[in-house]
């Protein structure tokens, strides 16, 4: 999450390395806000091929990342401020409360505390934290704990160094998703649910200016929407992907039926039903843990958020206003990008806007 520090950089790059595509955003820091200089989205797979859930292999990702840099005319050796992200099973994030401790004792104490809350073994764990607030009455500290493994971080930085980039700040995907919303929007009181729907998973973030922070990954994404259609219609992946882009979660129009919203008609639960079920569970858990149910809206980002009918289906099932978030809403943009509002760039934008 954004730390309360001044932004010192003049230009920044946000890099989102996904299983389906690599997204890079180049921003300029203004006196107030940011200006979009350029961006690029480049698939990591050929058209029509199924995406592959892969480890961060330089052999797979480096050629694509190198192509992105060339397209944006960015010399990797001259990059001064870059923020990238990691996510998945080997990352964890949790807000905890602890007694007040001075700075020189806090880090070592939190390492032992983290073992109780974050499911990563001590030898492999890399821990970071941010003090969110100190309660006046109790003097207790609200702290955001984040962790990953040394192996995952090395795999990630190896991809960057293989194309000549010196790694900078590495953030967690969930925090970058939250930052794209927090740093680029006027956030009213209440609680917001942000769903970043990627190829293989959905980052779920619950955020409010005065609310407890919550994040988790849900193991379904846009790839699974396509697999549902393949199974339902007995067609190839390429055909199912084309169908998804054209029809999304709506029925094909016919003389007797005018495209009502559906969950895919298959025996077992469809992907969208799984996602909604997990969001419901998480919201119930959050309300019980945080004692706060002032939910205002669900914001959808990521490539899968553009699936036709998805926002309407989620809104109907969860009885909550749901919309596709425009991460470019408050950015100054050159004329060629005046209509840019692609929600799959939210994570990269959140990274690029992150303070040092």
pLDDT digits (tens, 9 = 90+) for 269-306: 899 999 999 999 999 999 999 999 999 999 999 999 99
Characterise 319 by phi-psi region: left (phi > 0), alpha (psi -120 to 50), beta (else).
Answer: left
Any domain includes 75? yes
- Co-location of 36 and 58 in the same domain: yes
- Co-location of 226 and 344 in the same domain: no
CA distance 333 to 327: 12
Kindly give, in sequence order, each residue whose CB lies less than 8 Å from that of residue 336, ignoring residues fewer than 6 positions away: none
Average pLDDT, the chain: 87
pLDDT of 15 higher than 70: yes
- pTM as predicted: 0.88
Any domain includes 140? no
CA distance 278 to 267: 19
Question: How many domains is the chain built from?
Answer: 2
231-245 pLDDT, tens digit each: 999 999 999 999 999
Any domain includes 288? yes
The answer to whether 96 touches 139, Cβ cutoff 8 Å, is no
Any domain includes 31? yes
**CATH value at residue 228:** 3.30.420.40
Q: How confident is the model at residue 262 (pLDDT cuts 50, 70, 90)?
A: very low
Any domain includes 277? yes
- Co-location of 167 and 49 in the same domain: yes
The answer to whether 233 touches 243, Cβ cutoff 8 Å, is yes
Closest CA to 65 of 88, 48, 41, 85: 41
- Co-location of 173 and 66 in the same domain: yes
Closest CA to 141 of 128, 150, 131, 149: 131
Kindly give, in sequence order, each residue whose CB lies less than 8 Å from that of residue 147, ignoring residues fewer than 6 positions away: 91, 92, 93, 114, 118, 120, 125, 126, 127, 128
Q: How many CA atoms lie within 13 A of 21 on its CB side?
A: 20
- Co-location of 265 and 156 in the same domain: no
Closest CA to 162 of 25, 17, 19, 23: 17
Sign of CA dihedral 283, 289, 295, 298: negative
- Co-location of 224 and 331 in the same domain: no
- Co-location of 351 and 304 in the same domain: no
Comparing 48-62, 85-99, 332-346, which segment has the lowest mean pLDDT? 48-62
Q: How confident is the model at residue 114 (pLDDT cuts 50, 70, 90)?
A: confident
Any domain includes 178? yes
pLDDT of 259 higher than 60: no
Written as one string, the DSSP assignment of 114-143 is HHHHS-S-TTTEEEEEEEEEE-TTT--EEE
> CA-CA distances (angstroms) from residue 115 to 30, 99, 126?
41, 17, 11
Any domain includes 179? yes
Tokens of 54: 């892969």
Percent of the chain residues past pLDDT 70, beyond the cut: 90
**Residue 199 or residue 184, greater confidence:** 199
Domain that holds residue 169: 1-87+150-184+327-356
Span 62-74, mean pLDDT?
Answer: 96
- Co-location of 271 and 236 in the same domain: yes
pLDDT of 5 higher than 60: no
Q: How confident is the model at residue 216 (pLDDT cuts 50, 70, 90)?
A: very high
- Co-location of 233 and 217 in the same domain: yes
Measured torsion, CA atoms of residues 127, 130, 136, 138, in degrees rounded to the nearest 10? -10
Tokens of 124: 């492999």
- Co-location of 38 and 178 in the same domain: yes
Tokens of 313: 């289906």
- Co-location of 23 and 172 in the same domain: yes
The answer to whether 162 touches 62, Cβ cutoff 8 Å, is yes
The answer to whether 295 touches 188, Cβ cutoff 8 Å, is no
Any domain includes 202? yes
- Co-location of 279 and 356 in the same domain: no
pLDDT of 150 higher than 60: yes
Tokens of 76: 């990797």
């Amino acid at each position: 999450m954004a730390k309360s520090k001044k932004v010192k950089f003049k230009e920044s790059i946000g890099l989102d390395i996904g299983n389906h595509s690599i997204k890079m955003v180049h921003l300029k820091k203004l006196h107030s806000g940011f200006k979009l200089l350029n961006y690029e989205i480049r698939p990591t797979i050929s058209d029509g091929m199924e995406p592959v859930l892969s480890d961060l292999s330089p052999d797979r990702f480096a050629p694509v990342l190198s192509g992105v840099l060339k397209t944006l005319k960015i010399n990797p050796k001259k990059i001064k401020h870059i923020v990238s992200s990691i996510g998945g099973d080997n990352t964890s994030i949790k807000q905890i409360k602890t007694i007040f401790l001075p700075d020189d004792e806090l880090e070592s104490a939190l390492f032992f505390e983290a073992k109780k809350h974050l499911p990563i073994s001590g030898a492999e764990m890399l821990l970071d934290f941010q003090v969110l607030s100190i309660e006046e009455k109790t003097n207790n500290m609200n702290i955001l704990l984040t962790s990953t493994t040394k192996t995952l971080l090395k795999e990630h930085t190896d991809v960057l160094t293989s194309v000549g980039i010196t790694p900078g700040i590495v953030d967690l995907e969930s925090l970058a998703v939250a930052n794209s919303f927090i740093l680029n929007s006027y956030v009213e009181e209440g609680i917001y649910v942000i769903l970043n729907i990627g190829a293989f998973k959905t980052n779920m973030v619950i955020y409010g200016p005065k609310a407890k922070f919550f994040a988790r990954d849900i193991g379904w994404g846009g790839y699974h929407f396509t697999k549902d259609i393949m199974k339902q219609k007995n067609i190839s992946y390429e055909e199912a992907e084309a169908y998804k882009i054209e029809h999304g979660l709506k029925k094909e129009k016919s003389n007797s039926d005018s495209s009502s919203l559906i969950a895919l008609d298959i025996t077992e639960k469809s992907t969208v039903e799984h996602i909604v079920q997990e969001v419901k569970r998480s919201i119930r858990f959050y309300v019980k843990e945080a004692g706060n149910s002032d939910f205002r809206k669900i914001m959808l980002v990521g490539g899968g958020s553009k699936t036709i009918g998805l926002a309407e289906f989620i809104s109907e099932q969860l009885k909550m206003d749901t919309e596709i978030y425009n991460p470019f809403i408050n950015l100054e943009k050159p004329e060629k990008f005046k209509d840019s509002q692609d929600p799959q760039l939210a994570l990269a934008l959140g990274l690029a806007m992150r303070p040092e």
